[in-house]
Amino acid sequence: MNDSDRPHSEMTPQQFLISAAIFEGILLAIAFIGGWFTGINPTAQLRWSGADLLLGLLATLPMLAVLAVCMLSTLPALLQMRQLLKDMLGPVLLRCRLHDLLLLSLLAGICEEVFFRGFLFPWIASGNSFLGVMLSSLLFGLAHALTPGYAVFASFLGLYLTGLLAADATPNLLIPIVAHTLYDLIAFAALLLDLRRR
């Protein structure tokens, strides 16, 4: 099927990436504008560290274990969620190349972590730490509400990513950025492989 035969409602990979870049760019802009108003630098806890890069890579493993359980599960709710994701993302993902998925993962990993963990979490936590963890995680889930089940799943991932910062004596935003980016890349690749296999 060439581009002229494709239904107008179906996004091209370029349109998909542009839409994602706009959404992620808006989050990044809100983080810096909100940070300017509140006196919170959203990248204050971001620094280069080889050890923290390795921790970010290792922090991906529990997330991937949960992803594997969800991909292999035959629970009706998870099967329905996977099917909805395939229906929504499948047509465009099938036409994406590896570098498209890498760019998409980097956009999400960097922009969402700067917004949710770099700005939103410390802003709310300055008044109440527990509320900061819970509310930033819930809002992270709502931002990923492709389906109600996926919103719940993403909220737990957000809770985990926030915990990577909240539980660290010397928090570094690099850790959740790396974990988030690598998780997204592998999740996109797994969904793509599943779609191609079927």
23-38 tens-digit pLDDT = 999 999 999 999 999 9
Task: Work out the end-to-end distance of the chain between its first and last CA atoms, rounded to an integer number of angstroms.
Answer: 18
81 or 163, which is more confident: 163
Between the alpha carbon of residue 129 and those of residues 76, 112, 167, the distances in Å are 36, 20, 11
Express each pLDDT in 70-125 by its tens digit.
888 898 888 888 888 888 888 888 898 889 999 999 999 999 999 999 999 999 99
7 or 81, which is more confident: 81
Round the CA-based radius of gyration of the chain to a whole number and report it: 17
Output the pLDDT for position 198.
Answer: 66
Between the alpha carbon of residue 27 and those of residues 23, 45, 130, the distances in Å are 7, 18, 23
Output the pLDDT for position 91.
Answer: 87
Of the pLDDT bands very low, low, confident and very high (cuts 50, 70, 90), residue 145 is: confident
Output the pLDDT for position 9.
Answer: 54
Identify whether 120 is part of a domain: yes
Identify whether 92 is part of a domain: yes
2 or 146, which is more confident: 146
Output the pLDDT for position 78.
Answer: 85
Output the pLDDT for position 35.
Answer: 97
Domain assignment of residue 70, given as a range: 13-21+48-197
Number of domains comprising the chain: 1
Nearest CA to 120 out of 45, 22, 14, 64 is that of 45
The span from the CA of 35 to the CA of 28, in Å, is 10
In three-state secondary structure terms, 190 is helix
Structure tokens at 35: 């940070």
- Residue with the two structure tokens 């296999």: 197
Identify whether 27 is part of a domain: no
Element containing residue 47 per DSSP (H, E): none
Identify whether 91 is part of a domain: yes
In three-state secondary structure terms, 3 is coil
Output the pLDDT for position 5.
Answer: 47
Identify whether 6 is part of a domain: no
Identify whether 30 is part of a domain: no
Identify whether 163 is part of a domain: yes
Identify whether 174 is part of a domain: yes
